[in-house]
């Protein structure tokens, strides 16, 4: 059976029978029915429009959610890749720093060994210089004592006597 429109309900006619229904009451009821059917049709149309609008919104939200999920997945992948690169870079930096520290430590050790060698050589030179100074001091002390001895002999001997000719002393003694 086809659905009746409100207009068809209002224009509906019924065959007349003897002692039938009050046509005016039937028309009133049919009018009310037509209004209700029209109102229901309007409400159904509005609901269909709302349903279509809400369906579009739901679809848009789904598309946005899908786009956001894709963006989140891409961001997660990017973050993981960035973290992985950062870890690789950190390991490389640590390895480079360790290698540099090893080189610096080796160089410092070599320099310290060289300095210790130079210090040992300088200590040897200092000992040799001290021995030379001690010998020189002994020589100077010996020379000073000899000079003192010469001074004492010279003091005992008159310088005037030295100036006199030997022949005169001999004559004077005779």
Tokens of 36: 């209700």
Tens of pLDDT along 59-86?
999 999 999 999 999 999 999 999 999 9
Cα 39 vs. chain centroid, distance in angstroms?
Answer: 71
Residue 49, SS3 per DSSP: helix
pLDDT higher at 82 or 4 = 82
Given this model, what pLDDT does residue 142 score? Answer: 92
Which of the pair, 4 or 73, is modelled with greater confidence? Answer: 73
Nearest to 65 by CA among 142, 73, 53, 87: 73
Percent of the chain with pLDDT over 70: 90
pLDDT at 167: 62
User: For the chain, what percent of residues have pLDDT higher than 90?
Assistant: 60
Find the distance separating the first CA and the last CA of the chain, reported in whole Å: 197
Confidence class for position 43, pLDDT limits 50, 70, 90: very high
Q: pTM of whole model > 0.85?
A: no
pLDDT at res. 71: 95
Residue 14 structure tokens: 């019924």
Residue 155: band (very low, low, confident or very high) from pLDDT cuts 50, 70, 90: confident
Mean local confidence (pLDDT), 16-29: 77
Question: How confident is the model over 161-173, as a mean pLDDT?
Answer: 58
Q: What pLDDT sits at residue 5? A: 78
Nearest 5°: phi and psi at 19?
Answer: 60, 45
Average pLDDT over residues 96-124: 96
Q: Which pLDDT score, from 0 to 100, does residue 169 have?
A: 57
C-alpha 53 chain-centroid distance = 52
48, pLDDT greater than 90: yes
């Amino acid at each position: 059976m086809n659905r009746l429109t409100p207009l068809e309900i209002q224009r509906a006619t019924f065959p007349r029978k003897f002692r039938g229904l009050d046509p005016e009451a039937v028309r009133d009821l049919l009018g009310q029915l037509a209004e209700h059917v029209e109102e229901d049709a309007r409400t159904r149309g509005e609901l269909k429009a709302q349903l279509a609008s809400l369906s579009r919104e739901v679809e848009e939200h789904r598309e946005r959610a899908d786009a956001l999920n894709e963006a989140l997945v891409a961001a997660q992948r990017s973050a993981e890749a960035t973290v992985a690169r950062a870890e690789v870079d950190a390991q490389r930096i640590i390895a480079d720093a360790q290698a540099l520290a090893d080189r610096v430590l080796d160089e410092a050790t070599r320099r310290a060994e060289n300095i210790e060698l130079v210090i040992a050589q300088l200590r040897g030179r200092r000992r040799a210089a001290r021995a030379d100074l001690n010998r020189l001091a002994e020589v100077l002390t010996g020379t000073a004592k000899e000079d003192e001895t010469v001074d004492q002999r010279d003091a005992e001997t008159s310088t005037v006597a030295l100036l006199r000719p030997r022949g005169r002393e001999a004559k004077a003694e005779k």
